[in-house]
Structure 1
């Protein structure tokens, strides 16, 4: 591989072009383009040669020029209201991973408050940053409100919403996951199941609570008054203290694993042994769930698959130039561990 002469002192350095890399590597500019975008159809030895040329010349792909030439920025904007919840953080990670596999990057725009003005402001910022499509992670009912109008002609996929009649939606099957949790506890012999729900503004929390209520009603069981939390372990702990004082409470379905951790602590402090006295089921199957004391029975969400389907759906719109509606639900599964057992009266 030949070297190039340095620019004379005092002269502004010319930006290295794709043609410069191709000339140094002894390949076509099309091959350089494929390497720079991560295209899989390049022979490894050729890819290595091109990368070496890029490094030697200090080449950086010009995304603006590429956008002008091909009409795309290869960037997906992601709007989210919080990264503090398990679902959102894992979903963003999965979106970034699968976007990268397609040769795209993501631009993350956090929204401080879920209002129409804030959402439209986020879309404006994404427009300034030049993106090809947008994925919106909605943990609240904002898109369900008739007052919210998103900008037209936007390639859009929404996560965690009930707006499939207007937008393309990808979500975990929240209702079926909750049904599995409640049926598991009823099948163990518990008369009914108590519930620690998520906040009322959360779409996922309300879907899980509705399925809990429906499953009990269909089984002809008493539906206890639910407790609510904000997804935190502390909220679960407070609800758990209340439920520990309910003598008829032998089974609890908790809307996420962090709150379930708080419930386990409350039961321990009140002297109610899990699962001997009370069975507890969570939702999410976080990495630490198997290390709780006792290991937590929980509903597994496949965040990686949610992220993959989001990227697949939004890039289909980009490539075909057509908008889509409808909802894709990613299945859940119950992971049974040591926090559930038959009630004391059934032993």
Structure 2
């Protein structure tokens, strides 16, 4: 007899576990709340991998910051440098809360996925919430990497027109005058750096967004519970006495209060653990949008350049809009739940 998979029995847990696996392989630590037995050898190998991955990100970020010391920067490179040295460190700042509040995030995730599920849950609503996760995460990933590809195409165009090395990031070393096989390998890793740091950003954003959407799901389940409680009470109206109905309703209402308390706890603690991500995203988006608009006014415009900038602006809008929509979803569900409970 086939045992049902986690994806079938607990789709939300399956999705969060997949996200945590991506975060783990990117070197941002183990955020999954269930403990697994790992050998000492694997622990040491993973510790080394975390040091390599994070060291790689930080070294290239430092190389970008040192680029201000270069005297041969073109006006275009100066504009890009200001934009990148503002954006890329902020992207990495999204990763820091995962290190600082790792235990808190694990506790919140466990409460989100396991807290009141044994009391009452709806598999149908869970599947609908997973569809929401997929839409948001797929949109974030697509728009982020379309932006990177557009920037890479613009770098390739400049390579053929201006006879300069392909460049998407402005760094101190190597500069355009450096040549050689080893230099080209270093250039590849510098260009690949942007893809790595965006992968970290996307998985972190997806974790935060899915947490927000799960809080909204909690309030939908709460509303469904009270609707079912009302329907059950009305169905038994002719079969039981008023005293029996009142007693059953009070018992069910107490369970509903516990579900409501659990939903409020999740909302409050998701806000505490994920608020740095929201703050960084809003700050970054507003500042970078201003920078992009200024660049479009002062820089030479061509089709490839405009496509790359449009993709970048779209990415910022989608990132910020996703957070706003997920937070608005919670507000909507809380409001509807309150209206239903007053009826």
Please give the TM-score of this superposition, normalised by the length of structure 1: 0.25
Please give the TM-score of this superposition, normalised by the length of structure 2: 0.25
Give the number of the structure whose residues are more often helix, by fraction. Answer: 2
* More relative contact order, 1 or 2 (CA 8 Å, 6+ apart): 2
Give the number of the structure whose residues are more often strand, by fraction. Answer: 1
